[in-house]
Amino acid sequence: MSRRVGVDLGGTTAKLGLVNEQNEIEKRLVIPTDRTLPFEEIIARLADGIKSLGPVESVGFGVPSCLKPGSGIIIYANNFGWKNKDLRGELQKHLKDTAVYIANDADCAAVGEYFHGAGRGYESMLMLTLGTGVGGSFMFGGRLFLGGNGSGIEPGHIIVREGGEECTCGLRGCLEAYCSATALIREITSSASPLLARLIRENGGKANARILFDAVEAGDEDAQNILDRYLRTLAAGIGSLVTVMRPHIIVIGGGISQAGDRLFKPLSALMPSAVFSYDVIGCADIVPAALGNDAGIIGAACLKDALGA
Amino acid sequence: MSRRVGVDLGGTTAKLGLVNEQNEIEKRLVIPTDRTLPFEEIIARLADGIKSLGPVESVGFGVPSCLKPGSGIIIYANNFGWKNKDLRGELQKHLKDTAVYIANDADCAAVGEYFHGAGRGYESMLMLTLGTGVGGSFMFGGRLFLGGNGSGIEPGHIIVREGGEECTCGLRGCLEAYCSATALIREITSSASPLLARLIRENGGKANARILFDAVEAGDEDAQNILDRYLRTLAAGIGSLVTVMRPHIIVIGGGISQAGDRLFKPLSALMPSAVFSYDVIGCADIVPAALGNDAGIIGAACLKDALGA
């Protein structure tokens, strides 16, 4: 009976998984989350799906939103247009005595990596996800670190260049403004390199990180410069976070992390110039995330432990 | 018997205080710490001083050094030239059964402010000290936060301008490189403002933060520009720390904090442009430290609680 359900709630579908004692997904279910339906109706369908997976000890939810500390109340989930929705209360109407735990979806992915992925066996873990934005989470003392007041942390929005590039969040110079996949693709697309332009054309007009790494391997100087700048800023951001978190392991997720050694080797080589007292204290290893899309489901299922509830 | 001794160990003197249940200093003692004496001799004199204050429950030490996590071993205290010294072991030879707790001196000052000063009554606290360098500490869950691996954190060395000004620590663009009193005085001294030059002359050739604030009040444009730049960078640094720590209160110590409203009002006004999701989550108040030099003694005496030992 230590089976749990993890739910990774997205704007198009919710991915449900029945997770066993070994944190493996035993059964899966995908439920459309039609945002034109009322909140109550979507939750009712999700509850039916959860119940169909059998009796469980607890249910964990990863939601694309800020949450009111300790409440299970969604502050604003822009994918759904939900504002101030009592997700826990609504779920509990259907699930009665089953305990429900709720966290931000990016945090759930980090929890999954910590308990069952690249962070397994380490006491503390910093995770960054380099995707459309830069997400981040910190596992500390076996728990998800939500900051002093419990409102959650945003490592992607530390300021690495004061007064710099405008970020989607409205601030200037955030790590995300330089190190998201979006920012990197913008650099690649606007480059004058003929090789990069050709590789983009051959890829149907779409730029991505792989194209940049291919051009670097082919000796393209512009590509190398873009990568160098990207890595220096990423190293500065990770260095700042390491200086105030001192994690045992650093896990990088998101599309860019699939570059493997081409990313991780030069990035690791920059850390001595980005971490205070590197020569005395050093810096944790930087490794790729291991679970891919399953991290969110597994992490949601582990929320009881991660929240220390 | 819940009296404790707190020791603030400096390169010239050690300040000892007998601290009562209300965290007030009841008796004081100053012991010269002649760095030409052997380590063992200095410790023996300190132990004699501690014993002269009467029977106590515990002794806390603030030392100007990194410490090996959980060990009481000084890694390197450059004021004394001590390397890999077992401070706890040496003290325990003299103090027998009295429990000894050891932490970094800047951390002790934060612990003092948290238990008895400006941070009193708040659940979590970020403290920054704007002095020769920029020190910083984080109180979380009632404890001194020493990072995932326990090696201590250095909020003054997060990178706020990647590739920027060289810091004394060897990195580039650290908060300390822009926001220490040293950095501010460098800016004041190198300014072309005739008023600043005159105020420095009138102060015996010494620049300080007060001179800058006086010139700003007199409407000096150069002084205003220096202050604006200083505050923007400080806000960016505090904003980054708030974004990953979410403290309930932010305490600023060091000489610059004595500027009062002239510092705290404009600094607070910049926080909406430095803290992620300020409009939803807000930012803790920024207030001056309250204990002055006593913070280190009181904090050292509170180490048992702060370290959760």
Q: Encode pLDDT of A183-240 as tens digits.
A: 999 999 999 999 999 999 999 999 999 999 999 999 999 999 999 999 999 999 999 9
How would residue A262 be classed by pLDDT, with cut points 50, 70 and 90? very high
- pLDDT, tens digit (0-9, with 9 covering 90-100), for B157-196: 999 999 999 999 999 999 999 999 999 999 999 999 999 9
Strand order in the sheet with A25-32: A25-32, A13-19, A4-9, A58-63, A99-104
How would residue A260 be classed by pLDDT, with cut points 50, 70 and 90? very high
Among A140, A246, A307, most B C-beta atoms within 10 A, so best to mutate, is A246
Q: Would you state the pLDDT for residue A200?
A: 98
Three-state SS at A36: coil
* pLDDT surpassing 90 at residue B230: yes
**In the beta sheet, which residues pair with residue A253?**
A129
Q: Are B59 and B101 in contact, with CB atoms under 8 Å apart?
A: yes
Q: Would you state the pLDDT for residue B70?
A: 84
Strands A125-130 and A73-77: unpaired
Q: Would you state the pLDDT for residue B102?
A: 96
Closest CA in chain A for residue B231? A162
* pLDDT surpassing 80 at residue B254: yes
Q: Which helix (H) or strand (E) holds A17?
A: strand A13-19
Number of H helices, E strands in chain B: 12, 13
Instruction: Give the whole-number percent of chain B exceeding pLDDT 90.
Output: 88
Q: Identify all chain B residues contacting A281, using CB atoms and an 8 Å cutoff.
A: 66, 149, 151
How would residue A1 be classed by pLDDT, with cut points 50, 70 and 90? very low
CATH of span B4-111+294-306: 3.30.420.40
Instruction: Give the whole-number percent of chain A exceeding pLDDT 90.
Output: 88
Q: Are B242 and A153 in contact, with CB atoms under 8 Å apart?
A: no
* pLDDT surpassing 80 at residue A104: yes
How would residue B271 be classed by pLDDT, with cut points 50, 70 and 90? very high
Q: Identify all chain A residues contacting B150, using CB atoms and an 8 Å cutoff.
A: 246
Q: Across the interface, do B247 and A148 touch by the CB < 8 Å criterion?
A: yes
Report how far residue A123's alpha carbon sits from residue B146's, in angstroms, rounded to the nearest whole number: 14
Three-state SS at B239: helix
Tally of residues, chain B: 309
The CATH T-level fold of domain B121-288 is Nucleotidyltransferase; domain 5 (3.30.420)
How would residue B2 be classed by pLDDT, with cut points 50, 70 and 90? confident
E-assigned strands of A188-291?
249-253, 285-288
* Mean pLDDT estimate for chain A: 95
Closest CA in chain A for residue B232? A162
How would residue B39 be classed by pLDDT, with cut points 50, 70 and 90? very high
Q: Which helix (H) or strand (E) holds A114?
A: helix A105-116
Q: Would you state the pLDDT for residue B1?
A: 47
Assign 3-state DSSP to chain A and report helix, strand, coil percentages, each to 5: 40, 25, 35
Residue boundaries of the structural domains of chain A: 4-111+294-306, 121-288
Among A167, A171, A172, A307, most B C-beta atoms within 10 A, so best to mutate, is A171
Report how far residue A71's alpha carbon sits from residue B265's, in angstroms, rounded to the nearest whole number: 33
Choose the closest CB to B246 out of A147, A243, A276.
A147
pTM above 0.80, yes or no: yes
Non-local (6+) Cβ contacts of B273 within 8 A are A171, A172, B235, B239
- pLDDT, tens digit (0-9, with 9 covering 90-100), for A164-188: 999 999 999 999 999 999 999 999 9
Q: Would you state the pLDDT for residue B26?
A: 96
Report how far residue A187's alpha carbon sits from residue A165's, in angstroms, rounded to the nearest whole number: 13
Report how far residue B180's alpha carbon sits from residue B167's, in angstroms, rounded to the nearest whole number: 10
Number of H helices, E strands in chain A: 12, 13
Buried b (16+ CB within 10 A) or exposed e, B73-87: bbbebeebebeebeb
Q: Would you state the pLDDT for residue A274?
A: 98
- pLDDT, tens digit (0-9, with 9 covering 90-100), for B62-101: 998 888 888 899 988 888 889 999 999 999 999 988 999 9
- Do the domains spanning A4-111+294-306 and A121-288 agree at the CATH topology level? yes
Q: Across the interface, do B236 and A173 touch by the CB < 8 Å criterion?
A: yes
When mean pLDDT is compared across A63-67, A85-89, B197-201, the lowest value belongs to A63-67
Report how far residue A39's alpha carbon sits from residue A33's, in angstroms, rounded to the nearest whole number: 10
